[in-house]
Structure formats: C-alpha cells, structure tokens
Structure 1
Amino acid sequence: MRELHTAAEVVAASEDDALIVWAAQDIGADRRTDRETDRPGHDGPLGQVRAWAHGDAVVVASPRVSRRDRMAVRGRPADAMPLIRHALAQVGPAYRPFGDADLIEELVRGVPELALLGGFSWMTTTAQPPSEKSPAPASPGPAWLEADAEPEVTRLLKAAHPDSYAMPGVPGVRRWAGVRDAGGDLVAVAADAWPAPTVGLLAGVATAVHARGRGLGERVCRFLTGELLAEHGRVALMVDDWNTGAVGLYGRLGFARRRVAAAIVGVPPV
C-alpha cells in the first residue's frame, strides 16, 4: 500500500476523478475552514486527510467532510478490497466508504465487516449553466449574502429543509447565496461548502415553502454554480435519488449524474 501525501499524487493516482479529488480536499494542509480563527463555533481544524493507492485503486479518508467521516474509493474490486481494509485499520471504523454503486456493492460482498448504507447521486459539471429561458421575475437577483443574514438562512432551512447537511455555523460551510423577494424576505438559498481547490461543492439548497414553483431554487443554483466554476473549475453536489425534482433541476443546469453508494462498518442504523 502506498500512501499519497499531496493533491498532485491523488490526481495522478485517481486519473483526476472529481469525487476522489473532492474528498482529498486540501490534503497535506492544516484544515481550518474560512473564518474559523475569529468566529464562535468555528474553532479548530477539521482533521487530517489521508490517502492511499494500491494497484489501480485509490482511497481517501476525509474527516468531517459534508458532516461525515467519509472514505472515497475507486478502482477494481480486487485492488480496492485490501486497500479499504488497510485504510480502515489506519483511521478507524467511523469512516464510511463511498464510491460508484457497483464498486461499493462488490466491497460489501467481499468485506464482511461492511454493510450497505444506501445509494444516492453525485453530480458534476465543468460548463457554465445555460441562461434562464424566461425573463427573471421583478425581484432582486441571486447574490452572496452577508454574514449577518445567517440567522435568516437558519430559519429558512429549519422550515424548508431541516435535514440539510449545510447549515450556518457548521465547519466547512463557507458562505451562502440567496434570493430575496420584492419585500426583502429571503426565499431561496444555497451554500458554498466543503470545497476542494479544484472541485467546488453546492449544498444546502432550499426554497421557502410559500415561494416554491417560481424557479427561485434554480436561479440561486445557477448563480452559485457559475461562481464556483469561476473559482474551482468544477462543481459537484450530492442528491438523494428519490428527489427527482432536484435531480431534474441539476440536470437542466448541466450537471452529469453518477450513481454512488455508501457503506458502513457494522449494522446500518434503522
């Protein structure tokens, strides 16, 4: 097993796989998120990212990325199985392997301590989203929100998307974009969260219940996708497979879908 220590090594070993590169975050760096040193609730590093390669398989163990200790994996099952065992022995059983659905299913069959946790979709784009087809409504356009708007973001998310992984104050959630209605009320949001240098992540998408059906979520996602592409060159997101409306929205914005799955050491929670 060969340990990888730099982003360049991860890129080379994984053939620049966006999922693996995103999980690697800023490997080798002191992982403090933006503003952690001067904001309450943001005190301390996220932890050390570690990565290994074996044959054509690559594993990246990334602590507290998108609020989980995640272990991204790719490669042939024959190479990935011993590599997963090695990585779990190094970092502990709290990490959840995830990767292409067929690979994770093979790993669960071949590694008795793993159990399938569930499937979802990883979606990516490298192209600017298409322009809006219809004229924008007579209200302010999407924009970055100031830090003092975070209580409004929290209230909107608690009402419209209480299960969101991205929330104000969570380490790794960098900033929020939003849309306000003509009266100034916040009606749609999305977050720039847990980015890697060459892969931005769109998260925390929500629209106020009373404002749904107007395309506001699509507007804020279009804005944020463009902003993250300019900064990182690629944008990714994770979405539940059952959420066909969201999958369709992201598809309209140019995101390509990749079926992935996650596993857990031990028995999955009910």
Structure 2
Amino acid sequence: MAGLRELRSITDVRGAAGGDALMLWAAADLAHGRRAFSFGGATAVAAPALSCRDRLAVTGPVGDAAALVRAVLPQVGPTFRPIGDETLIRDLVTRVPELAFVDAFGWMQTETTTGRRGAAAWLTASDGADITALLDEAFPDAYARPGRPGTRRWAGARDASGALLACAADAWSAPDVGFLAGVATAEQARGRGVGTAVCGFVLDSLVADHGTAALIADSWNTTAVRLYRGLGLSWRPIAAARVMDR
C-alpha cells in the first residue's frame, strides 16, 4: 500500500503516535517480534503475547487507521487483536468487515508517585506458591502469574503470622511505561488498605523506573477503579476487537 511505512525505532513510534502511552507500552523496545507501522496520521503496533494476547495497538484518524489495519493484519496474522480508544475501535469494526467488537474497558495511568506504600515489599521466587494460592482464591482469571513470561516481579504484604494478604505484579512493562497487573487481596484483608498499599508500592516503583505507570481495568469493577483513581490514575476508555472466527 502506497504510503505505508514500517517504523524501526521507539523514537519513530513516539513521534508518530504523539507519545501515546498505550502505543509505547505495546511497542516497548520493538524487540521480541514487535513491529510498528504508520499510514497517514495513524500508527499501529503489533505486539505478540502482550499480556497473554497478540495485540495490535492502533491510534489516529479512523479513515487512516482502518486502511492501516487492513494493510497490517495480513502481515502480522489474524490472531492480533486491535486495541485502542473505544470510539476508534467501534468505528473500525464498521469499516473493516472482518473485525468484530470484543469488549470495552479502561486504560489507567499516572506519572506521579502515590506515596502510599504501607508495609508492602518486593517478594522473591520462594513466595511463588503463596502468590499462586492467593490469585487462585481472589483473582483466578489473572493474566499475571508467577513464572509466566513477561511477569517480572511481585510485591506483597503479609500479616503478623506470615500469611500473604495482598499481591501485585510488575508485568509486561516497557521502557517508557511500567505496567501493573495481578492485583489480588485476600477476602479477610479487604477494606483494610492492604491492597492499596501494595498497589501504591508497585506504582511508585514503576513511575520511578519508567516515568509512567499504567494498568488495564474492567469498567464493571468499580471497587478496583475507585482504588486506582484514589491512587491518582486517570481513566481512558479503550476497547478491543478481533478478527472474526478467532
């Protein structure tokens, strides 16, 4: 397609996407199979196995974005799911016949530290069984898991007996955007600020290391969204689509 350009560096992606944190998260360092493209005012980043899915982050005017997605999907494959601002994704599925809408949710981010770390600390590999047990109890659908590719490190808080009360992961972080995932709090510890302290600890570390911290939250999970808003994260409505029959 005339005008289609493959971007070769994160600097190119940053310029083409206007510093969009979602796009920079997907692009990371353009290693490990990631590819980025631009057409007109649109940018797309294909990121395999990003948070357990092949994702095609996209931004820009819908006409250019639709043309770009149609051109890029045959190159990267039908397993890649477009993700971007909700209004853009809803428009894309009306213009790209092979796409079907999947779901809407929220991208949340902050560039400032929370200052709410409590008694949280980084955990070690020996804590893996406790983390898994807590996730199985409190968040069985979590994408972040001990030992899963892209899950870098875990933080948590324990009670006086040593029981793990809450955990959260630094997972699928990119050089410019740290990513929070795998947040879980034991039922008996809810409402005591333990989950907030663990999230604050990880978010502060991510902001210090990457400049921006982000996460993806379900809009129906009002408790989690309220917690993250209280920690200073902004809400951005995003959505995902998929190639039909995938």
Would the TM-score normalized by the shorter structure come out above 0.5?
Answer: yes
| SS of residue in 2 equivalent to 1:217 | helix
* Runs of 4+ with >3 A deviation: none
2:83 to 77, 98, 114: 98
The one-letter code of the counterpart of 2:59 is R
Q: Within 5 A, what are the aligned runs for 1:166-245?
A: 166-245=144-223
Per-residue CA deviation, residues 1-52 of structure 1 (Å, 9 max, x unaligned), is 000111111001001100000000121x3x3xxxxxxxxxxxxxxxx00010
2-structure distance, mates of 1:255, 1:87: 32
| SS of residue in 1 equivalent to 2:101 | strand
Equivalent pair of 1:202/1:236 in contact (CA under 8 Å): yes
Aligned equivalent of 1:26: 29
2-structure distance, mates of 1:112, 1:62: 22
Equivalent pair of 2:102/2:242 in contact (CA under 8 Å): yes
Equivalent pair of 1:57/1:75 in contact (CA under 8 Å): yes
Per-residue CA deviation, residues 195-238 of structure 1 (Å, 9 max, x unaligned), is 11010000000001121111111010011111111100000000
The answer to whether residue 53 in structure 2 is matched with residue 68 in structure 1 is: yes
Aligned equivalent of 1:2: 5
Aligned equivalent of 1:36: none
The answer to whether residue 244 in structure 2 is matched with residue 266 in structure 1 is: yes
The one-letter code of the counterpart of 1:66 is S
Aligned equivalent of 2:20: 17
The one-letter code of the counterpart of 1:207 is T
Equivalent pair of 1:73/1:97 in contact (CA under 8 Å): yes
Equivalent pair of 2:107/2:238 in contact (CA under 8 Å): yes
Aligned equivalent of 1:35: none
User: Shift of residue 267 of structure 1?
Assistant: 4.6
Aligned equivalent of 2:100: 115
Paired residues in the alignment total 243
User: Shift of residue 131 of structure 1?
Assistant: 4.4
Amino-acid identity (%): 52
2-structure distance, mates of 1:82, 1:90: 13
TM-score, normalising length: structure 1: 0.88
Aligned equivalent of 1:53: 38
1-structure distance, mates of 2:156, 2:50: 23
The one-letter code of the counterpart of 2:9 is T
The one-letter code of the counterpart of 2:102 is L
2-structure distance, mates of 1:254, 1:21: 20
User: Shift of residue 184 of structure 1?
Assistant: 1.1
Q: Within 5 A, what are the aligned runs for 1:29-44?
A: 29=31, 31=32
Equivalent pair of 2:116/2:197 in contact (CA under 8 Å): no
Aligned equivalent of 2:234: 256
User: Shift of residue 122 of structure 1?
Assistant: 0.3
1-structure distance, mates of 2:75, 2:188: 48
The one-letter code of the counterpart of 2:114 is P
The one-letter code of the counterpart of 1:9 is D
Aligned equivalent of 1:89: 74
Per-residue CA deviation, residues 229-255 of structure 1 (Å, 9 max, x unaligned), is 110000000000000010010001010
Equivalent pair of 2:123/2:155 in contact (CA under 8 Å): yes
Structure 2 portions without partners, runs of 5+: none
TM-score, normalising length: structure 2: 0.97
| SS of residue in 2 equivalent to 1:175 | strand
2-structure distance, mates of 1:64, 1:185: 32
Structure 1 portions without partners, runs of 5+: 32-47
The answer to whether residue 137 in structure 2 is matched with residue 152 in structure 1 is: no
Per-residue CA deviation, residues 120-144 of structure 1 (Å, 9 max, x unaligned), is 0000000111548xxx6xxxx1000
2-structure distance, mates of 1:26, 1:194: 12
Per-residue CA deviation, residues 146-171 of structure 1 (Å, 9 max, x unaligned), is 11111110011011100001011110
1-structure distance, mates of 2:87, 2:109: 19
